[in-house]
Amino acid sequence: MMEAGVTAAEPFVFTGCVEVRQALQRTADDERELMDRLEEVPTESIFYHTHGYFLRHRPITTAYGNDFAAWVAVHVRDQALSERLAVVNPFEYGSLELLREELVTVVHDHLRRLRTVPRAEGGEPFHFQQSEIVEVALGTPAVTLLEFREGLASVDASAIYFHMVEARTRLGRRAGDFAEWLRSSLELPDLAERIERIDTYMTSLERVRARVLSLVDVELERRG
Amino acid sequence: MMRLDDYRQVASPGAVDIILKLAERVRGRRLLHLSGGRFGAGAPEALQPLIPLLNDVGIDAAWEITGGDPVFYATSAALQDALEGGERVLDDEALGHWMEMNRINAKKIRLEADVVVVHDVQPASIVSSRPGGGRWLWRCHFDCSAPQRRAWSVFRALVEQYDGAVFPLPRFGRRLGIPQYVIQPSIDPLSEKHREMAPREVTRVLQALGVAQDRPLLVQIGLFTRAADPLGVVNAYRLVKKHHPVRLVLAGTAGDDPESYDVLAELRRAAEHDPDILVRELPPDAYLQINALQRAATVVLHKSVREGFGLGVAEAMWKGKPVIGGIAGGLTQQIVYDVTGYAVHSVEGAAFRVRHLLNNPDIAARMGAAGRELVRRQFLVTRHLTDYLALLIHLTS
């Protein structure tokens, strides 16, 4: 195992991100339409309205966890379905298709128990969107754990999203970039595993940052 | 003129650095904006801070204006009104003249650019004269989701000559055969309308307006139109007044249409019988007065029943105020319910929420602080600049 201060062969480059948002011209006025559209929209749209929620809502942690639950609560005013959609943790699903299936199943199961389909009466329709991520390399690349800590503390919050959410879900780097670099470049498998286990659902990017920093601090302190 | 570095003091941490990194990738690209005028809300208000900032980060950004004769202006205004759902008569001759005038405009402007952004209706038909090369975007600042059918069929044929359209909200657009991007509007925190003001300066401006600060102030700023529902706000205030000694300020500009005069007259009649209702008609450039009124407010209302994006909500939140808004346009995009304010369906709902906030000043303060942070992240010109740079990269890389 490497000692603290040892230089990694591959530097860690903090990468922030910006969304280019696109409207899909697909809408839902009621919960059945929501279910139908969920089945047919591109997976990028499922990603945008679930994982992407955390990038857009970074200053404020809200009660819903994804755009579908928020719309059902605010515009359809169906608290029961909102609760059931809010509890769907997008980070638990191995693929976006599996996540889509779960969301459709939740709405379908809910509608089976109702006589009428709840509509957004007096509210607004749901507008499906998707986004393309533009990556931005930020700050000085880190080659030691201490430099990694310093970079992480000051980098824009979108970098936390990129390395912990985008990398895992859309780019297929399942461990997340922080854990992967710490494991492969600094040979810190225990720290990597602890960071990999951080629950990024229903919290803010700043809290995720604070949690990663505290784990890194413990490691730095342990190594003196 | 402001430089990007000036915004470090107000933007969210890291925002300016992201802008500089994005700009490195498109440095020197020519970005041309075309609009129908340099003053007023919508495109001009957005472009005034954006153009210098784009140039400051190395983009070759230009802003050109199209113009014409009175028939040109009247036709484009009628077309925009019809696209917003108004009943207007559009004759082929006038539409042909509007298009011809834009062909003439095209000859006077250097249209070669990496990306050309054409704002709203007046210059929109200039796309017919687009030279080869470059990507062209139609930037819409209004809600054209329910247009007059004939107007839309004429306009759609023009819009589909663009490479994409940009709307403030997905719901403001209609089905088109081109990509529809979403970029929300923004406020400039260093402008006269939004800069910091010392309490003494606020008091001085309010004294000049004849607004005393000895009671909690309920403030609505906006047009004197039925859509903005200032009469609904008066009714909500009357319900609140039974329980709290408050003062209501309704400030804004009156349009030149008869409806505005009617609404203003009704408000003045209401004010005649209640000295705590203050109606203030302001000139269009009363930025400092609006700033001071928003800062002096205890609660800001934006109780529209029909609305565009309604950026007045973000303006008030930037001043740390809880906002009670209607369910219309972009208001629910800005108000996070129970976090930065409340979106309400009725006069009674507005009154109930005002009373709730007056009875719970700690909640009002918490909401005001949350609203300011939300605006810092999502509705400042720095975010707008970021979106344009990302779109420039997306379209030209």
Q: Give tens-digit pLDDT for B292-350.
A: 999 999 999 999 998 889 999 999 999 999 999 998 889 988 998 889 999 998 999 99
Encoded tokens for B93: 């001759």
Q: What is the per-residue pLDDT across B225-278, written as a single tens digit (0 to 9) for each? A: 999 999 999 999 999 999 999 999 999 987 767 788 899 999 999 999 999 999
Could you tell me the CATH superfamily of domain B4-186+380-396?
Glycogen Phosphorylase B; (3.40.50.2000)
B8 Cβ under 8 Å from any chain A Cβ = no
Which residue in chain B is spatially nearest to A18 when comparing CA positions? B390
As a whole number, mean pLDDT of residues A94-110 equals 96
Q: What is the mean pLDDT of chain A?
A: 91
pLDDT in the model for residue B14 = 85
A52 Cβ under 8 Å from any chain B Cβ = no
> Can you tell me the distance from the alpha carbon of B317 to that of B52, in angstroms, rounded to the nearest whole number?
25
Interface of B with A in 351-380 (CB under 8 A): 370, 373-374, 376-378
Q: What is the per-residue pLDDT across B39-88, written as a single tens digit (0 to 9) for each? A: 878 899 899 999 999 999 999 999 999 999 999 999 999 999 999 998 88
**B7 with B16: CB under 8 angstroms?**
yes
Pick the residue of A45, A49, A156 with the most B CBs within 10 A to test the interface with B by mutation. A156
Q: What is the per-residue pLDDT across A18-39, written as a single tens digit (0 to 9) for each? A: 999 999 999 999 999 999 999 9
Tell me whether residues B17 and A156 touch, CB distance under 8 A: yes
Name residue, tokens 């595993």. A193
pLDDT in the model for residue A164 = 93
pLDDT in the model for residue A2 = 46
User: pLDDT > 90: what percent of chain B?
Assistant: 86
pLDDT in the model for residue B42 = 84
B359 CB neighbour count, 10 Å cutoff: 11
Name residue, tokens 């040979």. A187
Domain B199-378 falls in which CATH fold? Rossmann fold (3.40.50)
What is residue B170's DSSP assignment?
Answer: G
Confidence of residue A1 (pLDDT cuts 50, 70, 90): very low
Q: Kindly list the residues from chain B whose CB atom is less than 8 angstroms away from the CB atom of residue A156.
A: 13-15, 17-18
As a whole number, mean pLDDT of residues B192-215 equals 97
Q: Kindly list the residues from chain B whose CB atom is less than 8 angstroms away from the CB atom of residue A129.
A: 170, 182
Name residue, tokens 């957004």. A120
pLDDT in the model for residue B254 = 79
**A129 to chain B, minimum CA–CA distance in Å?**
8
Least confident stretch, A55-59, B191-195, B214-218 = A55-59
As a whole number, mean pLDDT of residues A51-76 equals 82
Pick the residue of B373, B377, B379, B389 with the most A CBs within 10 A to test the interface with A by mutation. B377
Of residues B93, B150, B151, B87, the one with CA closest to residue B124: B151
Interface of B with A in 85-124 (CB under 8 A): none
pLDDT in the model for residue A54 = 84
Of residues A24, A5, A40, A11, the one with CA closest to residue A185: A11
Which sequence spans correspond to the domains of chain B? 4-186+380-396, 199-378
> Can you tell me the distance from the alpha carbon of B142 to that of B140, in angstroms, rounded to the nearest whole number?
6
Helices and strands (H, E) in chain B, number of each type: 14, 12
What is residue B129's DSSP assignment?
Answer: G
Q: What is the 3-state secondary structure (H, E, C) of chain A?
A: CCCCCCCCCCCEEEEEEEEEEEEEEEEECEHHHHHHHHHHCCHHHHHHHCCHHHHHCCCCCCCCCCHHHHHHHHHHCCHHHHHHHHCCCHHHCCCHHHHHHHHHHHHHHHHHCCCCCCECCCCCCEEEEEEEEEEEEEEEEECCHHHHHHHHHHCCHHHHHHHHHHHHHCCCCCCCHHHHHHHHCCCCHHHHHHHHCCCCCCCCHHHHHHHHHHHHHHHHHHCC
Of residues B61, B138, B130, the one with CA closest to residue B102: B130
| CATH fold match for the domains B4-186+380-396 and B199-378 | yes
Say whether pLDDT at A170 is over 90: no
Nearest to A134 among B170, B327, B393 (CB): B393
User: What is the pTM assigned to this prediction?
Assistant: 0.91
**A25 to chain B, minimum CA–CA distance in Å?**
6
**B299 with B354: CB under 8 angstroms?**
yes
**A135 to chain B, minimum CA–CA distance in Å?**
9
Tell me whether residues A156 and B394 touch, CB distance under 8 A: no
Beta bridge partners of A16: A136
Of residues A51, A23, A5, the one with CA closest to residue A164: A51
Cross-sheet strand order for the sheet of B341-344: B277-281, B247-252, B217-221, B299-302, B323-326, B341-344
Which residue in chain A is spatially nearest to B383 when comparing CA positions? A18
Which sequence spans correspond to the domains of chain A? 12-16+132-222, 22-129
First to last CA, chain B: 30
Nearest to B332 among A19, A74, A138 (CB): A74
Three-class secondary structure of residue B83 per DSSP: helix
CA distances to A104, B57, B122, B148, B307 from B78, rounded to whole Å, are 44, 38, 10, 11, 19
Which residue in chain A is spatially nearest to B375 when comparing CA positions? A59
Q: What is the H or E stretch that residue B349 is in?
A: helix B347-359
Tell me whether residues B13 and A123 touch, CB distance under 8 A: no
Which residue in chain B is spatially nearest to A73 when comparing CA positions? B337
Tell me whether residues A21 and B182 touch, CB distance under 8 A: yes
